[in-house]
Amino acid sequence: MSSLPASAVVLQVLPSLVTGGVERSTVEIAQAVAEAGGTALVASAGGQLVSQIERAGGIHVTLPLNTKSPLGIWHNGRALEALVRERTVSLIHARSRAPGWSAWLAGQRTGVPLVTTYHGTYSEALPFKRRYNSVMARGCIVIVASRFIADLVASRHGVDPARIRVIPRGVDPAVFDPAAVSAGRIAKLAAQWRLPQGVRTVVLPGRLTAWKGHAVLLDAIARLGRPEVMCVLVGSHQGRHRYAEGLRRQAVRLGIGERVRLVGPCEDMPAALALSDVVVHASTQAEAFGRVVIEAQAMGRSVIAADLGGPVETVRPGETGWRVAPNDPVALARAIGVALDMDPAERAALGARARASVPTVRAMQDATLEVYRAVLAQVR
Protein backbone atom coordinates (compact mmCIF):
# COMPACT_ATOMS: atom_id res chain seq x y z
CA MET A 1 0.00 0.00 0.00
CA SER A 2 1.42 3.38 -0.98
CA SER A 3 1.68 6.24 1.50
CA LEU A 4 -0.20 9.43 2.21
CA PRO A 5 1.46 12.66 3.29
CA ALA A 6 2.20 12.47 7.01
CA SER A 7 0.10 15.58 7.54
CA ALA A 8 -2.97 14.09 5.81
CA VAL A 9 -6.02 13.98 8.06
CA VAL A 10 -8.99 12.22 6.48
CA LEU A 11 -12.42 12.57 8.09
CA GLN A 12 -15.10 10.01 7.15
CA VAL A 13 -18.66 10.97 8.02
CA LEU A 14 -21.66 8.61 8.32
CA PRO A 15 -24.81 8.28 10.47
CA SER A 16 -23.66 5.47 12.81
CA LEU A 17 -21.37 2.48 13.13
CA VAL A 18 -23.90 -0.25 13.80
CA THR A 19 -23.73 -2.76 10.94
CA GLY A 20 -23.79 -2.91 7.15
CA GLY A 21 -21.66 -2.51 4.06
CA VAL A 22 -21.18 1.27 4.39
CA GLU A 23 -19.96 0.85 7.95
CA ARG A 24 -17.60 -1.98 7.09
CA SER A 25 -16.12 0.01 4.21
CA THR A 26 -15.57 2.90 6.61
CA VAL A 27 -13.56 0.65 8.92
CA GLU A 28 -11.51 -0.67 6.00
CA ILE A 29 -10.66 2.80 4.74
CA ALA A 30 -9.80 4.02 8.24
CA GLN A 31 -7.33 1.14 8.44
CA ALA A 32 -5.88 2.02 5.02
CA VAL A 33 -5.41 5.68 5.94
CA ALA A 34 -3.68 4.77 9.21
CA GLU A 35 -1.41 2.21 7.52
CA ALA A 36 -0.54 4.77 4.82
CA GLY A 37 0.73 7.23 7.44
CA GLY A 38 -2.26 9.57 7.63
CA THR A 39 -4.66 10.31 10.47
CA ALA A 40 -7.99 8.51 10.16
CA LEU A 41 -10.91 10.32 11.77
CA VAL A 42 -14.47 8.95 11.72
CA ALA A 43 -17.48 10.94 12.91
CA SER A 44 -20.78 9.17 13.62
CA ALA A 45 -23.41 8.64 16.31
CA GLY A 46 -21.51 5.54 17.41
CA GLY A 47 -22.27 1.83 17.54
CA GLN A 48 -20.59 -1.50 18.02
CA LEU A 49 -18.12 -0.97 15.17
CA VAL A 50 -16.46 1.97 16.95
CA SER A 51 -14.08 -0.52 18.57
CA GLN A 52 -13.12 -1.77 15.10
CA ILE A 53 -12.33 1.78 13.99
CA GLU A 54 -10.03 2.15 16.99
CA ARG A 55 -8.38 -1.25 16.47
CA ALA A 56 -7.76 -0.25 12.83
CA GLY A 57 -5.79 2.78 14.02
CA GLY A 58 -8.57 5.34 13.61
CA ILE A 59 -10.05 7.93 15.95
CA HIS A 60 -13.82 8.10 16.46
CA VAL A 61 -15.68 11.30 17.26
CA THR A 62 -19.26 10.93 18.48
CA LEU A 63 -21.75 13.38 16.98
CA PRO A 64 -25.54 12.99 16.47
CA LEU A 65 -25.08 12.44 12.73
CA ASN A 66 -27.98 9.99 12.56
CA THR A 67 -30.47 12.84 12.62
CA LYS A 68 -32.36 13.82 9.46
CA SER A 69 -33.95 16.99 10.77
CA PRO A 70 -32.93 20.18 8.94
CA LEU A 71 -32.01 21.88 12.22
CA GLY A 72 -29.98 18.87 13.31
CA ILE A 73 -28.16 18.79 9.97
CA TRP A 74 -27.31 22.49 10.35
CA HIS A 75 -26.03 21.98 13.92
CA ASN A 76 -23.97 19.00 12.78
CA GLY A 77 -22.51 21.15 10.04
CA ARG A 78 -21.30 23.58 12.69
CA ALA A 79 -19.93 20.73 14.80
CA LEU A 80 -18.08 19.24 11.83
CA GLU A 81 -16.72 22.68 10.92
CA ALA A 82 -15.28 22.97 14.43
CA LEU A 83 -13.84 19.45 14.19
CA VAL A 84 -12.24 20.20 10.82
CA ARG A 85 -10.58 23.31 12.19
CA GLU A 86 -9.50 21.70 15.48
CA ARG A 87 -7.98 18.61 13.85
CA THR A 88 -6.68 20.40 10.72
CA VAL A 89 -8.63 18.02 8.50
CA SER A 90 -7.27 17.75 4.96
CA LEU A 91 -10.20 15.99 3.29
CA ILE A 92 -13.78 15.06 4.20
CA HIS A 93 -15.34 11.85 2.88
CA ALA A 94 -19.15 11.74 3.23
CA ARG A 95 -20.89 8.36 3.03
CA SER A 96 -24.58 9.15 3.63
CA ARG A 97 -27.03 11.86 2.74
CA ALA A 98 -28.06 13.62 5.97
CA PRO A 99 -24.52 13.73 7.38
CA GLY A 100 -23.40 14.41 3.83
CA TRP A 101 -25.20 17.75 3.92
CA SER A 102 -23.52 18.53 7.24
CA ALA A 103 -20.17 17.58 5.72
CA TRP A 104 -20.87 19.73 2.65
CA LEU A 105 -21.65 22.73 4.89
CA ALA A 106 -18.43 22.16 6.83
CA GLY A 107 -16.46 21.90 3.61
CA GLN A 108 -17.99 25.10 2.23
CA ARG A 109 -17.14 27.01 5.42
CA THR A 110 -13.57 25.73 5.73
CA GLY A 111 -12.52 25.25 2.11
CA VAL A 112 -11.64 21.61 2.79
CA PRO A 113 -12.38 19.35 -0.21
CA LEU A 114 -15.27 16.93 -0.05
CA VAL A 115 -15.27 13.41 -1.51
CA THR A 116 -18.53 11.46 -1.53
CA THR A 117 -19.49 7.83 -1.97
CA TYR A 118 -22.84 7.37 -3.71
CA HIS A 119 -23.73 4.11 -1.96
CA GLY A 120 -27.25 3.36 -3.18
CA THR A 121 -29.88 3.95 -5.83
CA TYR A 122 -31.74 6.34 -3.47
CA SER A 123 -35.49 6.59 -4.00
CA GLU A 124 -36.97 9.75 -5.51
CA ALA A 125 -40.60 8.94 -4.72
CA LEU A 126 -41.16 12.00 -2.51
CA PRO A 127 -41.02 15.68 -3.53
CA PHE A 128 -37.55 17.28 -3.26
CA LYS A 129 -35.95 13.85 -2.78
CA ARG A 130 -33.67 14.32 -5.78
CA ARG A 131 -32.30 17.50 -4.25
CA TYR A 132 -31.83 15.74 -0.91
CA ASN A 133 -29.99 12.91 -2.67
CA SER A 134 -27.90 15.32 -4.74
CA VAL A 135 -25.43 16.02 -1.94
CA MET A 136 -23.89 12.62 -2.65
CA ALA A 137 -23.08 13.87 -6.16
CA ARG A 138 -21.46 17.10 -4.93
CA GLY A 139 -18.06 15.68 -4.08
CA CYS A 140 -15.10 16.88 -6.10
CA ILE A 141 -14.78 13.14 -6.71
CA VAL A 142 -17.83 10.84 -6.49
CA ILE A 143 -16.96 7.24 -5.67
CA VAL A 144 -19.36 4.50 -6.78
CA ALA A 145 -19.17 0.72 -6.42
CA SER A 146 -20.40 -0.23 -9.89
CA ARG A 147 -20.84 0.97 -13.45
CA PHE A 148 -24.58 0.75 -12.81
CA ILE A 149 -24.36 3.49 -10.17
CA ALA A 150 -21.87 5.49 -12.23
CA ASP A 151 -24.41 5.70 -15.05
CA LEU A 152 -27.18 6.58 -12.60
CA VAL A 153 -25.17 9.43 -11.05
CA ALA A 154 -24.21 10.82 -14.43
CA SER A 155 -27.75 10.73 -15.82
CA ARG A 156 -29.67 11.72 -12.69
CA HIS A 157 -27.42 14.52 -11.44
CA GLY A 158 -25.53 15.55 -14.55
CA VAL A 159 -22.16 14.71 -13.03
CA ASP A 160 -19.22 14.81 -15.44
CA PRO A 161 -17.97 11.21 -15.78
CA ALA A 162 -14.46 12.57 -15.18
CA ARG A 163 -15.48 13.22 -11.56
CA ILE A 164 -16.75 9.66 -11.02
CA ARG A 165 -14.53 6.81 -9.83
CA VAL A 166 -15.77 3.21 -9.97
CA ILE A 167 -14.25 1.38 -7.00
CA PRO A 168 -15.93 -1.97 -6.32
CA ARG A 169 -16.24 -3.10 -2.75
CA GLY A 170 -13.89 -5.90 -1.88
CA VAL A 171 -13.48 -8.95 0.29
CA ASP A 172 -10.52 -10.07 2.34
CA PRO A 173 -9.49 -13.32 0.63
CA ALA A 174 -7.72 -14.45 3.80
CA VAL A 175 -10.95 -14.20 5.82
CA PHE A 176 -13.31 -15.42 3.11
CA ASP A 177 -11.24 -18.48 2.30
CA PRO A 178 -12.86 -21.93 2.22
CA ALA A 179 -9.56 -23.48 3.29
CA ALA A 180 -9.47 -21.32 6.42
CA VAL A 181 -12.90 -22.35 7.76
CA SER A 182 -12.61 -25.36 10.05
CA ALA A 183 -15.08 -28.21 10.17
CA GLY A 184 -15.71 -27.28 13.79
CA ARG A 185 -16.90 -23.79 12.88
CA ILE A 186 -19.27 -25.23 10.30
CA ALA A 187 -20.60 -27.89 12.69
CA LYS A 188 -21.18 -25.28 15.41
CA LEU A 189 -23.23 -23.15 13.05
CA ALA A 190 -25.21 -26.13 11.74
CA ALA A 191 -26.15 -26.97 15.33
CA GLN A 192 -27.17 -23.38 16.06
CA TRP A 193 -29.36 -23.36 12.96
CA ARG A 194 -30.87 -26.76 13.84
CA LEU A 195 -29.98 -28.28 10.48
CA PRO A 196 -30.50 -32.06 10.27
CA GLN A 197 -27.72 -34.28 8.97
CA GLY A 198 -27.60 -34.77 5.21
CA VAL A 199 -29.68 -31.74 4.15
CA ARG A 200 -28.78 -29.38 1.28
CA THR A 201 -28.82 -25.72 2.24
CA VAL A 202 -29.95 -22.70 0.24
CA VAL A 203 -28.94 -19.51 2.04
CA LEU A 204 -30.01 -15.90 1.52
CA PRO A 205 -27.84 -13.44 3.49
CA GLY A 206 -29.33 -9.98 3.97
CA ARG A 207 -31.32 -7.92 6.43
CA LEU A 208 -35.01 -8.76 6.61
CA THR A 209 -36.71 -6.22 4.40
CA ALA A 210 -39.19 -6.94 1.62
CA TRP A 211 -37.08 -5.82 -1.35
CA LYS A 212 -34.36 -8.36 -0.48
CA GLY A 213 -36.66 -10.98 -1.99
CA HIS A 214 -37.10 -13.43 0.88
CA ALA A 215 -40.68 -14.13 -0.16
CA VAL A 216 -39.53 -14.88 -3.72
CA LEU A 217 -37.03 -17.42 -2.41
CA LEU A 218 -39.60 -19.13 -0.19
CA ASP A 219 -41.91 -19.47 -3.18
CA ALA A 220 -39.03 -20.90 -5.23
CA ILE A 221 -38.16 -23.45 -2.52
CA ALA A 222 -41.76 -24.62 -2.43
CA ARG A 223 -41.83 -24.95 -6.22
CA LEU A 224 -38.54 -26.86 -6.15
CA GLY A 225 -40.28 -29.72 -4.37
CA ARG A 226 -37.15 -31.26 -2.86
CA PRO A 227 -37.64 -32.26 0.80
CA GLU A 228 -33.89 -32.56 1.43
CA VAL A 229 -33.41 -28.81 0.82
CA MET A 230 -33.41 -26.41 3.77
CA CYS A 231 -33.78 -22.65 3.30
CA VAL A 232 -31.85 -20.38 5.69
CA LEU A 233 -32.48 -16.63 5.89
CA VAL A 234 -29.49 -14.95 7.54
CA GLY A 235 -29.87 -11.34 8.67
CA SER A 236 -31.28 -8.98 11.24
CA HIS A 237 -34.94 -8.01 11.19
CA GLN A 238 -33.88 -4.55 12.47
CA GLY A 239 -37.20 -4.17 14.26
CA ARG A 240 -39.32 -5.50 11.39
CA HIS A 241 -40.97 -8.16 13.55
CA ARG A 242 -44.16 -8.26 11.50
CA TYR A 243 -42.21 -8.85 8.30
CA ALA A 244 -40.29 -11.73 9.87
CA GLU A 245 -43.51 -13.27 11.19
CA GLY A 246 -45.08 -12.88 7.77
CA LEU A 247 -42.24 -14.91 6.24
CA ARG A 248 -42.81 -17.67 8.80
CA ARG A 249 -46.51 -17.72 7.98
CA GLN A 250 -45.73 -17.82 4.25
CA ALA A 251 -43.43 -20.81 4.78
CA VAL A 252 -46.16 -22.68 6.70
CA ARG A 253 -48.75 -21.81 4.05
CA LEU A 254 -46.45 -23.16 1.34
CA GLY A 255 -45.90 -26.38 3.26
CA ILE A 256 -42.21 -25.75 3.91
CA GLY A 257 -42.38 -24.38 7.45
CA GLU A 258 -40.18 -27.14 8.88
CA ARG A 259 -37.54 -26.54 6.21
CA VAL A 260 -37.12 -22.77 6.69
CA ARG A 261 -34.88 -21.12 9.28
CA LEU A 262 -34.81 -17.43 10.15
CA VAL A 263 -31.55 -17.36 12.09
CA GLY A 264 -30.94 -13.65 12.61
CA PRO A 265 -27.54 -12.00 12.12
CA CYS A 266 -24.44 -14.18 11.94
CA GLU A 267 -21.03 -13.18 13.31
CA ASP A 268 -19.21 -15.88 11.33
CA MET A 269 -20.23 -15.26 7.73
CA PRO A 270 -17.36 -17.27 6.21
CA ALA A 271 -18.65 -20.34 8.08
CA ALA A 272 -22.25 -19.51 7.11
CA LEU A 273 -21.26 -19.42 3.46
CA ALA A 274 -19.13 -22.55 3.77
CA LEU A 275 -22.22 -24.30 5.13
CA SER A 276 -24.22 -23.26 2.06
CA ASP A 277 -24.75 -25.42 -1.00
CA VAL A 278 -26.27 -22.47 -2.85
CA VAL A 279 -26.21 -18.77 -1.96
CA VAL A 280 -29.06 -16.66 -3.32
CA HIS A 281 -29.32 -12.93 -3.95
CA ALA A 282 -33.01 -12.36 -4.74
CA SER A 283 -33.40 -8.58 -4.48
CA THR A 284 -36.35 -7.13 -6.34
CA GLN A 285 -34.80 -3.64 -6.52
CA ALA A 286 -31.46 -2.81 -8.05
CA GLU A 287 -28.57 -2.76 -5.58
CA ALA A 288 -25.55 -0.55 -5.95
CA PHE A 289 -23.20 -3.51 -5.64
CA GLY A 290 -24.19 -6.58 -3.61
CA ARG A 291 -21.37 -7.39 -1.22
CA VAL A 292 -22.78 -10.74 -0.09
CA VAL A 293 -22.49 -11.93 -3.69
CA ILE A 294 -18.72 -11.46 -3.85
CA GLU A 295 -18.29 -12.84 -0.33
CA ALA A 296 -20.06 -16.02 -1.43
CA GLN A 297 -17.97 -16.14 -4.60
CA ALA A 298 -14.79 -15.74 -2.54
CA MET A 299 -15.89 -18.81 -0.59
CA GLY A 300 -16.26 -20.74 -3.85
CA ARG A 301 -20.01 -21.13 -3.44
CA SER A 302 -22.62 -21.58 -6.15
CA VAL A 303 -24.24 -18.14 -6.39
CA ILE A 304 -27.56 -17.19 -7.98
CA ALA A 305 -28.19 -13.45 -8.28
CA ALA A 306 -31.08 -11.32 -9.46
CA ASP A 307 -30.31 -9.94 -12.91
CA LEU A 308 -30.27 -6.24 -12.03
CA GLY A 309 -27.99 -3.67 -10.45
CA GLY A 310 -24.45 -4.26 -9.30
CA PRO A 311 -24.44 -8.10 -9.28
CA VAL A 312 -24.78 -8.04 -13.07
CA GLU A 313 -21.14 -6.89 -13.07
CA THR A 314 -19.85 -9.56 -10.68
CA VAL A 315 -21.71 -12.73 -11.74
CA ARG A 316 -20.95 -14.17 -15.18
CA PRO A 317 -23.71 -16.68 -16.07
CA GLY A 318 -22.42 -20.22 -16.33
CA GLU A 319 -18.86 -19.15 -15.45
CA THR A 320 -18.98 -17.73 -11.91
CA GLY A 321 -22.65 -18.25 -11.05
CA TRP A 322 -26.15 -17.72 -12.45
CA ARG A 323 -28.42 -14.72 -12.93
CA VAL A 324 -32.21 -14.92 -12.99
CA ALA A 325 -34.95 -12.39 -13.64
CA PRO A 326 -35.89 -10.57 -10.42
CA ASN A 327 -39.16 -11.47 -8.69
CA ASP A 328 -39.44 -14.71 -10.70
CA PRO A 329 -39.73 -17.71 -8.35
CA VAL A 330 -40.10 -20.14 -11.25
CA ALA A 331 -36.77 -19.10 -12.78
CA LEU A 332 -35.15 -19.04 -9.35
CA ALA A 333 -36.37 -22.57 -8.55
CA ARG A 334 -35.02 -23.79 -11.87
CA ALA A 335 -31.60 -22.22 -11.23
CA ILE A 336 -31.42 -23.66 -7.70
CA GLY A 337 -32.14 -27.10 -9.13
CA VAL A 338 -29.38 -26.72 -11.71
CA ALA A 339 -26.90 -25.57 -9.05
CA LEU A 340 -27.76 -28.45 -6.70
CA ASP A 341 -27.49 -31.04 -9.47
CA MET A 342 -24.10 -29.97 -10.78
CA ASP A 343 -21.38 -32.57 -11.01
CA PRO A 344 -19.03 -32.02 -8.00
CA ALA A 345 -16.06 -31.40 -10.28
CA GLU A 346 -18.00 -28.81 -12.29
CA ARG A 347 -19.19 -27.15 -9.08
CA ALA A 348 -15.62 -26.97 -7.79
CA ALA A 349 -14.39 -25.47 -11.07
CA LEU A 350 -17.15 -22.85 -11.04
CA GLY A 351 -16.31 -22.01 -7.44
CA ALA A 352 -12.62 -21.62 -8.25
CA ARG A 353 -13.42 -19.27 -11.14
CA ALA A 354 -15.74 -17.27 -8.89
CA ARG A 355 -13.11 -16.95 -6.16
CA ALA A 356 -10.48 -15.82 -8.66
CA SER A 357 -12.80 -13.12 -10.03
CA VAL A 358 -13.73 -11.22 -6.86
CA PRO A 359 -12.37 -7.75 -6.08
CA THR A 360 -10.34 -7.55 -2.87
CA VAL A 361 -10.41 -5.18 0.08
CA ARG A 362 -6.80 -4.26 -0.65
CA ALA A 363 -7.69 -3.19 -4.20
CA MET A 364 -10.58 -1.10 -2.87
CA GLN A 365 -8.34 0.51 -0.24
CA ASP A 366 -5.57 1.30 -2.74
CA ALA A 367 -8.01 2.83 -5.24
CA THR A 368 -9.60 4.99 -2.53
CA LEU A 369 -6.23 6.19 -1.27
CA GLU A 370 -5.36 7.11 -4.85
CA VAL A 371 -8.50 9.30 -4.95
CA TYR A 372 -7.43 10.96 -1.69
CA ARG A 373 -3.89 11.58 -3.00
CA ALA A 374 -5.20 13.11 -6.22
CA VAL A 375 -7.58 15.44 -4.36
CA LEU A 376 -4.93 16.46 -1.82
CA ALA A 377 -2.44 17.17 -4.62
CA GLN A 378 -4.89 19.63 -6.19
CA VAL A 379 -5.29 21.71 -3.02
CA ARG A 380 -1.59 22.09 -2.14
- pLDDT tens-place string over residues 106-159: 999 999 999 999 988 888 888 899 999 999 999 999 999 999 999 999 999 999
The closest alpha carbon to 305, from 322, 288, 317, belongs to 322
With a cut of 90, say whether residue 377 has pLDDT above it. Answer: yes
Structure confidence at residue 92 as a pLDDT band (50, 70, 90): very high
Task: Tell me: do 127 and 188 sit in the same domain.
Answer: no
The answer to whether residue 139 sits within a structural domain is: yes
CB of 98 closer than 8 Å to CB of 65: yes
Q: How many domains does the chain have?
A: 2
The answer to whether residue 158 sits within a structural domain is: yes
With a cut of 70, say whether residue 380 has pLDDT above it. Answer: no
The answer to whether residue 144 sits within a structural domain is: yes
Q: Give residue-wise pLDDT tens across range 322-369.
A: 999 999 999 999 999 999 999 999 999 999 999 999 999 999 999 999
Task: Tell me: do 365 and 319 sit in the same domain.
Answer: no
Residues 6+ apart with CB under 8 A from 225: none
Could you tell me the residue range of the domain that residue 144 belongs to? 9-170+361-378
What pLDDT score was predicted for residue 125?
Answer: 82
| CATH number of the structural domain spanning residue 238 | 3.40.50.2000
Task: Tell me: do 54 and 78 sit in the same domain.
Answer: yes
The answer to whether residue 285 sits within a structural domain is: yes
Task: Tell me: do 127 and 217 sit in the same domain.
Answer: no
User: What are the C-alpha distances in Å from 309 to residues 193, 256, 315, 369?
Assistant: 31, 30, 11, 26
What pLDDT score was predicted for residue 204?
Answer: 98
The answer to whether residue 3 sits within a structural domain is: no
With a cut of 70, say whether residue 1 has pLDDT above it. Answer: no
The answer to whether residue 340 sits within a structural domain is: yes
Residues pairing with 303 in the sheet: 279
Task: Tell me: do 104 and 154 sit in the same domain.
Answer: yes
CB of 323 closer than 8 Å to CB of 315: yes
Task: Tell me: do 252 and 326 sit in the same domain.
Answer: yes
Task: Tell me: do 187 and 157 sit in the same domain.
Answer: no
Q: Give residue-wise pLDDT tens across range 64-81.
A: 999 999 999 999 999 999
Task: Tell me: do 144 and 278 sit in the same domain.
Answer: no
Q: Give residue-wise pLDDT tens across range 19-57.
A: 778 999 999 999 999 999 999 999 999 999 999 999 999
The closest alpha carbon to 213, from 230, 188, 231, belongs to 231
Task: Tell me: do 344 and 216 sit in the same domain.
Answer: yes
User: What are the C-alpha distances in Å from 133 to residues 7, 110, 136, 235, 276?
Assistant: 32, 22, 6, 27, 37
What pLDDT score was predicted for residue 172?
Answer: 93
Task: Tell me: do 116 and 239 sit in the same domain.
Answer: no
What pLDDT score was predicted for residue 379?
Answer: 79
What pLDDT score was predicted for residue 20?
Answer: 78
Q: Give residue-wise pLDDT tens across range 235-287.
A: 988 788 899 999 999 999 999 999 999 999 999 999 999 999 999 999 999 98
With a cut of 90, say whether residue 288 has pLDDT above it. Answer: no
**Whole-angstrom Cα distance, residue 289 to residue 199?**
31
The answer to whether residue 77 sits within a structural domain is: yes
Task: Tell me: do 203 and 339 sit in the same domain.
Answer: yes
Task: Provide the 8-state DSSP code for 2.
Answer: -
The answer to whether residue 270 sits within a structural domain is: yes
With a cut of 70, say whether residue 226 has pLDDT above it. Answer: yes
What pLDDT score was predicted for residue 291?
Answer: 87
CA 149, 155, 156 angle in degrees (round to 5)? 85
Mean residue pLDDT across the chain: 95
**Whole-angstrom Cα distance, residue 297 to residue 310?**
14
The whole-model pTM stands at 0.88
> What does the pLDDT average to over 59-67?
97
Task: Tell me: do 13 and 83 sit in the same domain.
Answer: yes
